[in-house]
Copies of this chain bind each other. A is one copy, B any other.
Amino acid sequence: MEQRKYFLGCNYIISIVDGKWKPSIICSLGLGAKRFGELRHYLEKLYGITPAEKVLSEQLHQLIADRVVRRTDYGVMPPKVVYSLTDRGVRLKKLLIQMTEFAEQIQDDSVSFMYGSDEMKGISRPNHK
């Protein structure tokens, strides 16, 4: 087992959440545990595009390695596997919400976001059709 070395602690956090879909995965699972396919379709409803299966799989496994996400295999046929946030994941999600709120404060015309911090908290349930 080898040790990973970072300049700053924030570099470590950034490395955990850096990945196109990772914040959305954490956010989604924070609103409820989901199966692999469920997660894909949930993300598609939110954004209109789906992560490639390979990419979703990769990023999930990285989050598992960083102990942010937990994988529960029910070992039945047909397969049933559920992903959910660990304790660390729940705390990380709160940090992501803080970051999102900061983003909304400094936001200007040059950027836009598809999903807001209130929605991350589950305050508003969007009607994505």
Q: Which residues from chain A sit less than 8 Å from chain B, CB to CB?
A: 1, 3-14, 17-18, 20-21, 23-24, 27, 46-47, 88, 91-92, 95-104, 106-107, 109-117, 120
User: In the docked arrangement, what's the CA distance between A107 and B27, Å?
Assistant: 22
User: In the docked arrangement, what's the CA distance between A20 and B87, Å?
Assistant: 28
**A10 adjacent to B106 (CB under 8 Å):** no
**A8 adjacent to B114 (CB under 8 Å):** yes
A99 interface neighbour in B9, B24, B88, B111, Cβ under 8 Å: B9
| Chain B residue contacts of A6, Cβ below 8 A | 111-114
| Chain B residue contacts of A117, Cβ below 8 A | 9
Q: How many protomers of this protein does the assembly include?
A: 2
| Closest 5 A/B residue pairs (Cβ) | A9-B103, A9-B100, A10-B99, A10-B100, A13-B99
A102 interface neighbour in B4, B5, B95, B113, Cβ under 8 Å: B95
| Chain B residue contacts of A120, Cβ below 8 A | 8
**B96 adjacent to A5 (CB under 8 Å):** no
User: In the docked arrangement, what's the CA distance between A111 and B65, Å?
Assistant: 13
| Chain B residue contacts of A20, Cβ below 8 A | 11
